[in-house]
Amino acid sequence: MKRTTITQVAKEAGVTIGTVSHVINGTAPISAETTERVRRAIKALNYIPNATAKSLRSKKNYTIGLMLPNLNNSFHSKVASAFIDKAYIEGYSVQIHGYEYSLERERRELERLERNNIGTVIIFNGYGDEREIKNFLQKGIPVILADRSSTIAQVPHIKFDNHKIMLDIVSALQKKGYQRIGFFSEPIQLTNLKERFQGYQEALKKCGLSFNPKDVFVRDDLCLDNLKNGYRYMRDILSINEKKTLPDAWIASSDLLAIGMMRAMHECGYQIPADFGVVGFDNTEISGYVNPRLTTVEQNQILLGEKLMEMVKQINCDKKSVENISLEQSLVIRESC
């Protein structure tokens, strides 16, 4: 009924538990003969070591806590998928916690991670959690920030280069003849969006376009249900405003938002890219399969997942010299602008 324990194996093999432990972990030279007997006992009893006990005693821990908003958009789910895949190869397990864009909930979940005795913590986006992060560091639990830059020393981050890409987008749009470029985005709280917003303003300036606060379209609900809320917001915008008072090109903060927008435009009788140009973000797979095919920013989610795993491995060895990583993004030009 119960799991077999190291004690049972030891009894079966006629040795002490210490010896069993040594043959399993190779932590002491054990005679071939004894090793063989222990191996046989392990097989016979179908013994699988209890990682809980092991981690309690050894203080080592191969589970990673992954904090992210949720798995509802393909950006996060792709990264998570790639990360889990790598983690498997490296022998780590990953616990996923979703904070649903709520600061309070993020804090609670972080506490649960600590409770669960997690070995390494990865936080995607998030904000206002400096105290919790410092708490982890104090207790010797390494933290990595993802898709976000960090203000805390000792906490490495990995993110995309948001300045350069905004310039690429704006100048590409300008080259195509668009004159006014709108910024359509979920609330600009997370550092990656802040950077994009900054980059957007800088890019306008560099391209000789003027920044107009009226071209910034942000609504709170845009971070949840991207598709639906992007659609609704754009319908609202189009029903209230005349076309000529609006930007003629739009940079959306995600592909789903962009796709929702495009449907609203389509339903209101506008043509894309003739009436409005649209640029998405993420290059989710679907973006190449909608009509018109969406121009978007390629963010290599798989690469992000992989690099993240590399950082975890590094930070679990050195504990020190882990470099921040900035990943390139590139514009994938298709039909929507």
Backbone angles phi, psi at 96, to 5 degrees: -110, 135
Least gap, CB of 18 to DNA (angstroms): 3
Closer CB to a copy of itself, 162 or 229, in the complex = 229
Residues that bind a copy of itself (CB under 8 A): 1-3, 46, 48-53, 55-56, 63, 70-72, 74, 77-78, 80-81, 84-85, 88, 93-98, 100, 105, 109, 111-112, 114-117, 135, 138-140, 225, 227-228, 231, 256, 259-260, 262-263, 266, 285-286, 288-291
Least gap, CB of 58 to DNA (angstroms): 4
The pair of structure tokens assigned to 147 is 């898709």
Q: Is the dihedral of CA 164, 169, 174, 178 positive or negative?
A: negative
Distance (Å, whole) CA 311 – CA 303: 12
Q: Which residues pair with 143 in a beta bridge?
A: 121
Looking up tokens 């030891």, which residue turns up? 10
Least gap, CB of 26 to DNA (angstroms): 10
Sole window of 43-51, 71-79, 235-243, 299-307 interacting with DNA (rule: CB under 7 A) = 43-51
Nearest to 336 by CA among 222, 229, 251: 251
Query: From the CA atom positions of the chain, what is the Rg in Å?
Result: 25
Task: Pick what 40 binds: a copy of itself, DNA, none; C-beta below 5 to 8 Å, kind-dependent.
Answer: none
| 103 touching DNA, by CB under 7 A | no
The pair of structure tokens assigned to 256 is 């789903």
Looking up tokens 């982890």, which residue turns up? 136
Residue window 44-83: x/- pattern of binding to DNA, with contact defined by CB under 7 A: ---x-xx--xx-xxx-x-----------------------
Closer CB to DNA, 30 or 302, in the complex = 30
